Chain A
Amino acid sequence: MKNEQFNNRDVSENGYFLVDIPDYPTDGWGKFTRVVKRTFKGELFVGLWVVLREMIKFDIHTVQYPQEKMPIGPRYRAVHEMKRLWESGTERCIGCGLCEKICISNCIQMDTKIDENSRKEVSEYTINLGRCIFCGYCAEVCPELAITHGGRYENGSEQREHFVLYEDMLTPIDAFKAGKQLEFEGFGSITPHEDERVKKTPLSY
């Protein structure tokens, strides 16, 4: 076991550093020159001209968001979903921790414990959507097709660290019973003709 990593005792270091930005002017003259510079650069009129030009063309393609929404492809990677088993309706997630391991922005965390039936149970599961880059690795690595991406892309929030919890992602049981759970078709889903390609393990039964 190498010990060098323990020789650095600077506990404050966490990878952040300051960017070199000149300070804002604090005195009156400085503030005045800044206003004058910004006002007379002429960039304002470029913008105004574009708006005016488009207005008199009367050729409008704007989607009236949020009243109108564009349809999204089934492989789109937005906020994650947790799926249920078709047979029993129980959660598919077994708590193997592979999504947590593969996550390149380290935004998935889970706590596991042993439950009353001596099985592994996920006691808590969160994804920090503020850090998530929606790369789809978690959905790809999941051996149970439990975590997938969904179509919910609206992440407006009061704070940057917008977490989703397990319960928010899990298919609601009423939606599941109504047959509304959709299989994800993107990263990690079963490719067509998988049945033909799989090698079967022989069994003596």
Chain B
Amino acid sequence: MSKITINIDGKEIQTQEGEYILNAARANEIFIPAICYLSRCSPTLACRICLVEADGKQVYACNAKAKDGMKITTTTATIESERRAIMEVYDVNHPLQCGVCDQSGECELQNYTLEMGVDSQSYTVKDVARESKDWGHIHYDPGLCIVCERCVTTCKDMIGDNALKTVARGADALSADYKASMPKDAYAMWNKLNKSVIGLTSGADMLDCTSCGECASVCPVGALVDTDFMYKSNAWELKQIPATCGHCSAGCQISYDVKHTSIENPEDKIYRVMNEWNYVSLCGAGRYGFDYENRVTSKDEVAFAKAIEAFKKADTIEFTSTITNEEAYLLQALKQKNGYKLVNKEAKAFQTFLKDYSEISGTKLYGSDLKETHNANFVISVGTALKSDNPNARYALNNSMTVNKGAGLYFHPISDPVIEGLGKSILTVTHAPLQEEAVMYLILDLFADKTKLPAKLAKYLSSFHYEKTVIVEEDVKEKVIEKVKVKKLNAETGLEEEVEEEKSTMVTKKVSKKVKVDENKLLKMLNAHEKFSETLTKNLAKKDSFSLIVGPDFYTHPNAKNLARLVALVEKYTEFKLTMIPPLSNSLGVALICELDDTKGKFTIGYNTKGDFILSALGDGDLDMPAINQQEGTLTSINKRVNPTNAALAYHGYELNDIANALGFDAQYVIEYTASLPLSSGFKAQKFDCLPNRYENDGTEVRGYLLDNVEIPMGKDEAVAPVSDKKLSGTLIYLANPVRQFSAFTNKTTALHEEAGIYMSADFLAKSEFNEGDSVKIKSDKGELVLNIISDNKISGDIACLPTFDSKINSEALFGSYRFATASIKKV
């Protein structure tokens, strides 16, 4: 798209063609009031307050696109009277109880009422009873609601749950006099507002969605609030600590809002998590999973001495990826100094996968990020339970479909009602486990330029095609001529006569035809729907930017190496831009910083995991460590960005840096290592204190820095192995967490604490003899486990899910490396 110049209030500004006037103004620090518009969603046109005059015509800045040379005035006398009338309307029947409203102090209704100088009211309508409703984790007070529909918009355009909609208010009609006497837009807006309130799409009493809380976060007034935060604190008392969420690899920017716990207890406590919702959307874990800190009152010198002893004795450090880059750096430095083996299974698998991928791609990292997925209009997700592995990737997929009129393909063995609910333009393919290679071949076959592909591969792909004769019923239109007798008036005689006339009509006939069609065996292998090709062709119309998301199922796949090469080939020979989902919070950072080993030695120090001596930020180990919300440091996100995070809460115990100092290193704070992260992996020599953490008004992400995608010499060999015909048979289990759970840290939080068990879909339960709550023994060739059955309506199909978030349940013991396994499930 080309750059254009527009003129707003006499100021010449540059913007993209097709950009909304409101966004162009915001990017250039020009203020246009707007309530209902959300930056990355489609315009709602509920508030109408963003009225501006463009080339002498009144338009809404949020949905009018800028044209070259456009002259825009943000205020005129009529616009000002419209805006004032709109704000007066919003204040009609709005309770004057700001003193007990949680939004007070950050309320857009307060702000705009003052901005427009509303000091009296001219309009009235009789109010109807609007009782507040408890929707579970969200509390809705329709009395405060101004029906800007931001919650509905974000739920539909960003999150994809479609859990909210507008419902009838049942109020009296507006007085007819207003139509003539009021400003036009204000009346139209009021007329709509007076007919609706927000309700649940499902019609139930409680919200049943993926519980992200984004609706409450975007609410400009106090209508939607988090039930747990209600009346706990006023907005202005909270100190905002800019941070990066440490639960998954998305690395969302958040701010921890802290205040003293109570009058008796001056220690800080996190009251809520806020986000810049115009530019980043959180999931439920990020929003509600904030109190996982490890409260340690003092330095435990005895435990510390034991830890030093253990480090002297140990030959292995095993850890999970819920650590910062700096800690990963320290572990690597300790390895170089004392020769420890570093064991981290999930990061090792990812590291190996990246290495195999780079042999063909020639770059250390995948080429794209989720921002490009947001902007794409055809997205494929493969090898990941998208909604629970990385909720932000799901938002990106949904956002691309709703706002860019895009379409998607979702390949996964577990059929997912949440993904299917994203819309009609997403095609889901529920293939069997171990068939991921076939998926990659299918993508190559569908989208690669066959002339450029290596000859051997092109030949292999064509071997899947065969011609098939099918009988197709076609509608054929035929002209049928009939002779009809019509009575007509004879003009000469004045009498009515019967005249024979020819009349032709079109009749559709069904004709069966034999047609030769090109069939693809891969589709059958993947268990794709009969009309897959047909629907795909329809969905692919007018699509020009493509994005591929590859997930953690690939990294631990028995044929991971072949898959990595296939992924690289797809990126190389198709238009797809590739993003990989790192398995845990900082797996990408760990994979880039640490040299990881496969096997453990004799004496293991476990960091947030099991070991002979355990360092734990969960508070259950031999020596306490600070949790991510008590640490400074950087985290590497899926978007290949090194994001800084600040300590929200104080930590009074020992940290890894103290241990390193006792073992011969010297750094006062662990963040002194930020500048020494390995340049060869793409990190930059930047000091922690220089790393920003914010978004600009135009949505530019100014956070930390982007990793360099280091080029590495690639091999000439582009050979890939054919599809393996291995299959898993019998009852299958899958290693995946439910939505809002990622690790023991999310489970430790009060808002998210959940009973873990084996998750089964309603279909599965109906087909089997099990009921919810039954205790079952799950046995695989690797081990066995006794768990309770939990019915999960967020999955469907016949594969049961086992979680990893509860450290009491060692689900991994049932699995080999792959995330799927065969198991027998029996009642006990």
Using CB atoms, name the residue of chain A closest to B97: A94
Using CB atoms, name the residue of chain B closest to A126: B263
B462 within 8 A of A: no
| Candidates B231, B241, B262; contact of A114 at CB < 8 Å | B231
A96 within 8 A of B: yes
* CB-based contact B233/A96 at 8 Å: no
A133 to B632, CA, bound (A): 39
B775 within 8 A of A: no
Contact with A along B242-282 (1 / 0, CB 8 A): 10000000000001000000110000000000000000000
A53 to B668, CA, bound (A): 69
List chain A residues, Cβ under 8 A from B104: 96
| Candidates B122, B669, B692; contact of A9 at CB < 8 Å | B669
* CB-based contact A119/B100 at 8 Å: yes
* CB-based contact B121/A202 at 8 Å: yes
B120 within 8 A of A: yes
List chain B residues, Cβ under 8 A from A90: none
A199 to B125, CA, bound (A): 18
* CB-based contact B693/A1 at 8 Å: yes
Tell which of A94, A111, A113 has the most Cβ of chain B within 10 Å: A111
> Given A96-B99, A96-B104, A126-B263 in contact, is the A6-B241 Cβ separation under 8 Å?
yes
A121 within 8 A of B: yes
* CB-based contact A112/B125 at 8 Å: no
Instruction: List which B677-727 residues lie within 8 A (CB) of chain A.
Output: 689, 691-694
A185 within 8 A of B: no
* CB-based contact A101/B237 at 8 Å: yes
List chain B residues, Cβ under 8 A from A6: 241-242, 632, 646
> Given A97-B237, A100-B237, A144-B99 in contact, is the A3-B242 Cβ separation under 8 Å?
yes
> Given A9-B669, A120-B231 in contact, is the A3-B125 Cβ separation under 8 Å?
no
Shortest beta-carbon distance from A169 to chain B in Å: 15
> Given A9-B669, A96-B100, A204-B126 in contact, is the A112-B120 Cβ separation under 8 Å?
no
Shortest beta-carbon distance from A8 to chain B in Å: 10
A203 within 8 A of B: yes
List chain A residues, Cβ under 8 A from B97: 94
B511 within 8 A of A: no
Contact with B along A186-197 (1 / 0, CB 8 A): 000000000000
* CB-based contact A118/B132 at 8 Å: yes
A98 to B100, CA, bound (A): 11
| Candidates B99, B240, B689; contact of A143 at CB < 8 Å | B99
Shortest beta-carbon distance from A9 to chain B in Å: 7
Contact with A along B112-134 (1 / 0, CB 8 A): 00000001111111100000100
Using CB atoms, name the residue of chain A closest to B644: A3
A105 within 8 A of B: no
> Given A3-B692, A94-B99, A118-B132 in contact, is the A112-B646 Cβ separation under 8 Å?
no
A155 within 8 A of B: no
* CB-based contact B231/A95 at 8 Å: yes
| Candidates B100, B124, B693; contact of A202 at CB < 8 Å | B124
25 A-B pairs with CB atoms under 8 Å apart are: A1-B693, A1-B694, A2-B694, A3-B644, A6-B242, A9-B669, A97-B236, A97-B237, A100-B237, A101-B236, A101-B237, A110-B263, A112-B233, A113-B232, A114-B231, A118-B132, A119-B100, A120-B100, A120-B231, A121-B231, A124-B263, A199-B119, A199-B120, A202-B122, A204-B125
